[in-house]
A and B are shown apart, each in its own frame.
Chain A
């Protein structure tokens, strides 16, 4: 018995208990979900602590040895993702209580909420390709349902579009898995890695990798695969937008890409510069295109949606740079963006909850009435722009440092220059919603919502001040785990499981 299966088993079990609890009492469901999220958070911290001592924990399902059975391979990068997921899931569950109170069928919402959590957790820790697909689809399908949760025409349309595009990605991934399986006769990531190394970089190798990159790009919403995201975000309830933007697209898109590219296909900037240049291209295109599009948006959440597309571009930039600081910067950026964007979507939820509209031109002067929301927005926004000493600054700093060490001076200049665009669209919200004269009718945000926002604000400030510790204990080891490359396979086959 180890603690690893708990990460996905706990939310999965909760998802099936919730319908029963929902029949008994409504409020119990929320308390239960918050409790489970909190336990997950503690477990994630424990996971990070364990990773300080050993490089990897392998859990063999049913005690079957690796190439035959399904394994869970939990290393520092997984620990990092699990931690970020659990932070946002916990904050989101706090926020959901009052935000969801005017929806019917809340237990369905919480069931889906736990399912999407289980899916994301599973993707982050699995060591098996097909298993990864299954968890990915659990998360994706839950997210389709959650986007459509309001069942208005707009929401159903957004969800349908999202589903079609998401499934194009999902099925392409499945096809890639089938091709790989046909060629290598195995589904274990470590085993595939070994086989691929023996085969060499044939056209087949690149085709499969290209298909996977395509599939993950849709999930991660890079330009030009992003078009589902700006529709889905305004439609989804705010805590779900926060979860989708904050971590969902990163687990399903970024984590999978990074894991497959570095650890399974064993690529690095030295061996495959062309591939990494493609990553850089995707990243830059996303940053510029979506950032500029965000400037002309009039819908609070849609603007934030485009902003997410633009910001994941920075993460891809970091991976594309491919050296230690670049990758560490990208991982740091996953954390920083998750906190900041999660927080910004919370503020949007808080504004929508108070005023009933997301139209920037209709909102005005909320800065004084909703001061917690306004200040959360400001701090989250400043972190996103990269103002020291908030956590966002250090994330951007490492990416730029990586670019400079890798010899991409122009890339560093563009990356800093495009931050101006970020400032531009965030000021648009600040000016319209919080500072513009006039007053939209609004009440203060409810207590639990404010707690959720303050929780993230505190994290943004604290992790920024203590960035050295974050880097030493969480981000740095995660980057090492990725840059370990094909050593990954040896660890999976050689490691032993530790007791819980």
Chain B
């Protein structure tokens, strides 16, 4: 049973040791992560067959205890796996950066706290680890590529406020039910309006961790200034794992929302909005990491949608999607990080044509991008498929189920669109001259992304045989029944046939090779560089001008006009979202701050510094006290 202690204590202990003994840091960190992985695997195996639960301390009627069931075991395992991958990648990417030492300490601390959150069997205990995570997130965001304090501040403001709300929610829960241990003997039903309030308040903290609308704004902000590894580690993987974990615990182990439609609707609506809006925002971006950050937020919407349905297959699908999402999103972050390591930029305008130079990275990227877009037979398709099926099954209780289905599918299309943009802008298209000397990234940086991409393929093709059978289904307590008519293995065969046909067609030469010709502009000779068409150019033309006219102009451009149209809509929504939604939220913070400051100014005015004034206050107070007490 000591594994639970170890997965929490080992990372931070060795991390701290490594921090202090800088010379041996890499070795100590290796020990830390490997040991944690070892114990996490043991917890995972143990929790397949039994539930581990024991008290650490009992104090004033509250049991501080650890609790690990199959879901917790699953999450702990992937916490450990992702930590080790990120660490491996960071070895090269973060080496020789000024705050390297602190960075590794925070990575270890984050892993410890994340395991603590998952393994605690008591809400107060959980909150304690949750707060440590806030601290370590703040610390990690401080270690930026450039000056990142404002982004860190924004993050801690948003997360801190939502944590306070969550804390209040837990207090209300405690008062109403008299217990903060979980799981309870019987699930709490929404019999009291306070219980609904409590659920919603805790949900705020969960959503902030998952990064859904409207608590997402810090993620794109941070994406501009922190390294790819931090992004992949926190908003990319661990935050998703933990947020999803608590969402599941809250919705199906502590409460049971499957019998309460309004809350299901709340989750599904937030999920749908998140999917669509954030995907549109992503489409509009010109900076790779920022785009991926929005994409991360958008994908969280699917998980909410899946959990919100209350249908077992969709819940399992959401869990699967969460797992898939952390896999391919980490792969995307890491491969763009590899590109950045070589080219020193993530701006799509100055990238292009790197596919030939970095084939392995390209491969990892393409697989992950297709997986995230839900292209069969990769894993992303399978999990979305399960969620779709769940949404359809809600038709008996939720009248507007088809709206959610449309949102989910449309979001999938948008995802494909922005991933194509990303792929085209970085790896295809024309290569700027200065990138001609770029080589494939270092071995240590390529391997994690490549591994993750391979996992995407395996999890897709053998979805039922491997991940669902061993990972997902044992981790949800429900019997999910039949999964619709989808046979990944057969589909794969068909797709391979399709690809072979495509190659044959290509080889027999009906597809033209690009024609190179000189551009004449009134006698002046343009150099090739200034005539280069960057990736985002294909997508940007409609940003400023009339959407319809442009769509018409590009009408002959084949498939692109669709994207342009979409892109116009996207930019519209993005501007709306930036100017209205984002700013509204920001100004809400500001207005609140202003009111408090104004009040503070007012109270400062009362402090005139004049003695008779102060003495007056004193006597006023004294008289009031006497009046109240004597009469």
Binding site for B on A (CB under 8 A): 160-161, 164-165, 168, 172, 203, 206-207, 209-211, 213-214, 217-218, 224-225, 227-228, 230-231, 274-275, 278, 289, 292-297, 325, 387-389, 400-401, 404, 409, 412-413, 416-417, 419-421, 423-424, 431, 435, 437, 468
Interchain CB contact under 8 A, B167 and A161: no
Contact between chains at A416 and B167 (CB < 8 Å): yes
Q: Does B88 interact with chain A (Cβ within 8 Å)?
A: no
A-B contact pairs, 12 of them (CB 8 A): A165-B611, A211-B626, A217-B621, A227-B614, A228-B614, A274-B628, A292-B603, A296-B600, A297-B604, A404-B171, A404-B175, A419-B164
**Interface residues in B, total, Cβ within 8 A:** 42
CB distance from B291 to the nearest CB of A (A): 29
Residues of chain A contacted by B601 (CB below 8 angstroms): 296
Q: Contact between B174 and A404 (Cβ–Cβ < 8 Å)?
A: yes
- CB neighbours (8 Å) of B167 from chain A are 416
Interface string of B167-208 (1 = CB under 8 A from A): 110011011000000000000000000000000000000000
Q: Which of A160, A214, A423, A437 contacts B160 (CB 8 A)?
A: A423
Contact residues in B for A275 (Cβ distance below 8 Å): 629
Asked if residues A224 and B175 are in contact (CB atoms below 8 Å), the reply is no
> CA A168 – CA B326 in complex, angstroms?
66
What residues of B have a CB within 8 angstroms of the CB of A416 in the complex?
164, 167-168, 171
Which of chain A's residues have a CB closer than 8 A to the CB of B57?
468
A12 to chain B minimum Cβ distance, whole angstroms, is 31
7 A-B pairs closest in CB distance: A296-B600, A227-B614, A214-B622, A293-B603, A210-B629, A210-B626, A206-B629
Query: In the complex, A2→B624 CA distance in Å?
Result: 44
- Give complex CA distance A404, B62 in Å: 14
Verify B600–A227 contact, CB threshold 8 A.
no
What residues of chain A lie closer than 8 Å to B149, measured between beta carbons? 435
Q: Given that A292-B596, A413-B168, A416-B171 are known contacts, is A213 also in contact with B615, CB under 8 Å in the complex?
A: no
- Cβ-neighbour of B626 out of A165, A214, A293, A387 (below 8 A): A214
Q: Which B residues form the contact surface with A (CB < 8 A)?
A: 57, 59-60, 127-128, 131, 135, 147, 149, 153, 160-161, 164, 167-168, 171-172, 174-175, 596-597, 599-601, 603-604, 607, 609, 611, 613-615, 617-618, 620-622, 625-626, 628-630
Given contacts A293-B607, A387-B131, 5 further A-B contacts (CB under 8 A): A168-B618, A217-B621, A227-B618, A296-B601, A413-B171
Name the B residues within 8 Å of A292 (CB-CB): 596, 599-600, 603
Contacts A295-B597, A387-B131, A420-B164 known; A412 to B171 CB distance under 8 Å?
yes
Chain B CB within 10 Å — which of A168, A228, A275, A296 has the most? A296
- B620 and A224 contacting across the interface, CB-CB below 8 Å: yes
Give the nearest-CB partner of B147 in chain A: A437
- A38 and B100 CA atoms in complex are apart in Å by 41
Is A214's CB under 8 angstroms from B625's CB?
Answer: yes
Q: Is the CB of A203 within 8 A of B128?
A: no
Most A C-beta atoms less than 10 A away, residue of B135, B607, B622: B622
Q: How far is the CA of A401 from the CA of B615 in the complex (A)?
A: 37
A165 and B618 contact, CB distance less than 8 A: yes
| CB–CB B609/A231 < 8 A | yes
Give the contacting residue for A409; candidates B175, B607, B609, B625; CB below 8 A: B175
The CA of A404 and the CA of B177, in the complex, are separated in Å by 13
Whole-angstrom distance between the alpha carbons of A275 and B153 in the complex? 43
Residue pair B171, A224 in contact (C-beta under 8 Å)? no
| CA distance in complex: A221, B626 (Å) | 18
| A395 CB, nearest partner CB in chain B, Å | 14
Chain A residues whose CB sits within 8 angstroms of the CB of B161 once the complex forms: 420
Whether B617 pairs with A225 at a CB distance below 8 angstroms is yes
Question: In the bound complex, what is the Cα–Cα distance between A165 and B147 (angstroms)?
Answer: 48
Distance between Cα atoms of A470 and B41 in the complex (Å): 38
Residue A296 contacts which of B135, B174, B604, B617 (CB distance < 8 angstroms)?
B604
Please, how many angstroms separate the alpha-carbon atoms of A426 and B345 in the complex? 37
| Chain A residues closer than 8 Å to B611, beta-carbon distance | 160-161, 164-165
Q: Which residues from B are CB-within-8-Å of A207? A: 626, 629-630
Q: Is the CB of B614 within 8 A of A161?
A: yes
Which B residues lie within 8 Å of A423 (CB)?
160
B613 nearest in chain A by CB position: A227
State how many angstroms separate the Cβ of A275 from the closest Cβ of chain B. 7
Q: Cα distance A435–B272 when bound, in Å?
A: 39
Q: How far is the CA of A158 from the CA of B614 in the complex (A)?
A: 12
